[in-house]
Structure 1
Amino acid sequence: MAVDTSFYTSFMSEEIRDEGRAEGRAEGRAEGQATGQAEGLLLVLQARGIALTDETREKITTCTDPQLLQQWLQRAATATSAEEVFTEE
């Protein structure tokens, strides 16, 4: 019994694979952006002498929301404590 594999070489199959690749690249860029922002935030806090607990460090490194990380990074530029960085307004 022969298996019909024509779908895997069809235009529609190529289109589906292309969409998957594009989604994967977008997700990779977003993850990279979040990782870079988290590293930048940690660097700013360290340079400013703001001590972090392990819990706070984990909160930063596991955050995947680039907008939230950007907000924290902006606050870190003028904050005098970690609490000021993460306080909800």
Structure 2
Amino acid sequence: MSEEIRDEGRAQGRAEGLLLILEARGIALTDDLRQKVTTCTDPELLHRWLHRAATATTTEEVFAEEH
């Protein structure tokens, strides 16, 4: 299995997990943000969002740009 295929699978799994956590926590996503999550192919970025989603109370906290 190539690294690229593994990264795609990792990204897809993290995107699904992120959507599940946000839904369970009652944090609604706009269609644009949902598309941003489902089309993201960067597993590290998705990991950061997923980590933030565990404690965030708003989408702004989850998707805040890092400085």
Within the candidate set 54, 57, 65, 1:77 is matched to: 54
User: C-alpha separation between the residues in 2 aligned to 1:59 and 1:87?
Assistant: 13
Higher relative contact order (Cα pairs below 8 Å, separated by 6+ residues): 2
List gaps (5 residues or longer) in structure 1.
1-21
Matched with 2:64 is 87
What is the letter of the counterpart of residue 61 of structure 2? E
TM-score, normalised to structure 1, is 0.71
Q: Percent identity?
A: 68
**Which string of whole-angstrom CA distances, capped at 9 and with x for unpartnered residues, describes residues 8-29 of structure 1?**
xxxxxxxxxxxxxx6xx22111
Between structure 1 and structure 2, the one with the greater Rg is 1
* Alignment RMSD (CA, Å): 1.0
Structure 1 segments, 4+ long, off by >4 Å, are: none
User: C-alpha separation between the residues in 2 aligned to 1:30 and 1:78?
Assistant: 25
TM-score, normalised to structure 2, is 0.93
List gaps (5 residues or longer) in structure 2.
none
Aligned residues: 66
